Structure 1
């Protein structure tokens, strides 16, 4: 009876297991300043990306992005009026292909940030009083991309599987111990 219960518990834990949430730090270094007409080797753009491989195929699409933070962009899984991920495709081992946008107008300032890796990174601010800030950088062959996985936080289903495994090991040891004493 105990063996059947343990087997049922292990199957339930395995069935409840979901894809692991993974977080990556992406750093783009060395961008071409369109405004200054010069390559800036120390210009960096840092991006924090959180994804979950829902279909288990090892690649990530737009619906599998849980969060993307870059400059003013703070996308959290759903496009809002201010923050949006327009498209996203990535297979680890290659470079992420996406376009993310921040756009806000508060009645005084119109702000826009666009990150489209491999193409453009733009920050634009314009006020009702004539102040304007518009900087654009382009990727070049000299732009370096570093992608570093950060430690994922285990999901509850991971803990359930761990507990089921420990319980199975404990039950097996208990049964073996009971068999040797008779």
Structure 2
């Protein structure tokens, strides 16, 4: 009996920190957008990742609990020229955020923005002439979302350790 209690206490001790760990999710918005320039419908896909830490343990995540938000190769909390004006997400719902990026040199400029539920856009150009590049889309009711958890290395390690323990127990029983 004491052995079972010790095993349960050890399992709880390893499981408790896993609940407090950062959680990373992939996000995707797909479906019907309207072109910013043309107003014509098109199927598009926007995707990235975000990492959150449920500091207040309420199951909802806001901008203060956001650790990383990646889109188009940029991590918005840390990249130069990037900003996040809002973020909120609750599992089972679409993430809501508004991000903006702008980089400018003496020769060119580049910007992008994404406000979920409203629009996204890209623009770039050269100060030495030429036509600027502008692209993007507006949200329609046909846009769908998907958020899925990204397994962390600790999860795989715990699974492997559990499988090894089960294998050892089976082998021990066969030997007895």
Deviation, 1:98, is 0.5
Q: Structure 1 pair 75/167, CA: closer, same or farther in 2 (3 Å)? A: same
Distance 1:157 1:47, change over 3 A: closer
Partner of 2:16: 15
Q: Let me know the Cα RMSD of the aligned residues.
A: 3.5
> What does residue 61 of structure 2 align with?
60
Against the structure 1 CA distance between its residues 51 and 153, is the aligned structure 2 distance closer, same or farther, given a 3 Å change threshold?
Answer: same
- Length-normalised TM-score, structure 1: 0.70
CA 7–140 in structure 1, closer or farther in 2 if over 3 Å, else same: closer
Offset at residue 147 of structure 1 (A): 0.8
Structure 1 moving runs of 4+ over 4 Å: 1-5, 164-171
1:153 and 2:151 equivalent?
A: yes
Alignment map for 1:25-174 (pairs within 5 Å): 25-36=27-38, 38-42=39-43, 44-55=44-55, 56-62=57-63, 63-70=65-72, 74-75=74-75, 78-131=77-130, 132-141=132-141, 143-149=142-148, 152-156=150-154, 159-160=157-158, 163=161
User: Which runs of 5 or more structure 1 residues have no equivalent in the other structure?
Assistant: none
What number of residue pairs does the alignment pair up?
Answer: 169
TM-score, length-normalised on structure 2? Answer: 0.71
For structure 2, which runs of at least 5 residues remain unmatched after alignment?
Answer: none
Q: Larger RCO: Structure 1 or Structure 2 (Cα < 8 Å, ≥ 6 residues apart)?
A: 1
The alpha-carbon distance between structure 1 residues 158 and 58, as it changes in their structure 2 partners (threshold 3 A), is farther
